[in-house]
Amino acid sequence: MTPQQILIVEDDPNTAEMLMAYFSSQDYLVTAVDMGQKALDFVQDTVPDLVVLDIRLPDIDGYQVCRQLRSQRRTSQVPIIFLTERRERIDRLVGLELGAVDYVTKPFDIQELRLRVRNILRRVSMDQVSHPVTGLPFSALVDEKLGELLKEKRWTVLAVGLDGLAEFGEAYGFVARDDVVRAVALMIQRVAEEVSGKRPFVGHLDDSSFFLTLAPKSASGVQKQLGSRLDEAMAFFYPRADLDANQDRDGHELPQLTIRMGTIAGDADSYAKVAELKAAIQESLAPS
């Protein structure tokens, strides 16, 4: 099971180090940054399961960080705990009004904070069934579907991977990157339905890879048509001037968005566990 990720935004090095060491010992994946802008840069590539956010930061305050996280679709639902020395009622109300799920004042009891973090992340695990960018099934809902698939007599899974997404995001920003992910998700749904005549289950394996379940007889046609349509679509994600010059606006080599696809077929006896099936789907996307 992938450990849940906590982002700590705290400029006091002693507090940050203590929180990192403590929550890492609790089997969480922990990242700490000391400025608000660093936190915003971090979430462009990785969406944490929880943010522990100090209000008083050297560059932009925690309130502004919270506003920006809430304004972006991919981070709008990430739970935030404000960690601060401010004790005034108005400060607490401002934090809660911005959408923070909790407000902890310094000095704090680390055991109490641990329980607050644990309870919030348990709720997140129960609620996380759709991807924050595309709205497609994700996490627990994907596992549930694959569990059902293991019991079917015959089935086919088509996997679609999007390469170069991180580099594209670095060049054009996370908003443009998320637009690519949404567009690819929509094309997968539309093409699969057009070719197969049915609406297939389409879900996320991770932020840049998808899978869809198909009847064996339609898998080949969907793969061929989808591969063609996606390859044609890649050029439309770039500004025309950059595409013509084959370099981005800063003069760097144009980041290449490419598609990988793979299929696996099986029956009720092919895999015993969902984890084995997910690993096989991912492996189908590995370069040959």
Q: Residue 177: name the closest of 101, 73, 35 by CA.
A: 73
Same fold, 5-127 and 140-284: no
One-character DSSP codes across 58-125 = SSS-HHHHHHHHHHSGGGTT--EEEEES---HHHHHHHHHTT-SEEEESS--HHHHHHHHHHHHHHHH
**pLDDT for the residue numbered 287:** 75
pLDDT classification of 183: cutoffs 50, 70, 90: very high
In this prediction, residue 90 carries a pLDDT of 65
The mean-pLDDT minimum among 54-58, 121-125, 135-139 falls in 121-125
Where exactly are the structural domains of the chain?
5-127, 140-284
Of the ranges 33-42, 117-126, 178-187, which one carries the lowest mean pLDDT score? 117-126
Question: Domain 5-127 maps to which CATH number in 3.10.105.10, 3.90.380.10, 3.40.50.2300, 3.40.640.10?
Answer: 3.40.50.2300
Provide the mean pLDDT of the chain.
Answer: 88
Length of the chain: 288
Domain 140-284 -> CATH class: alpha beta
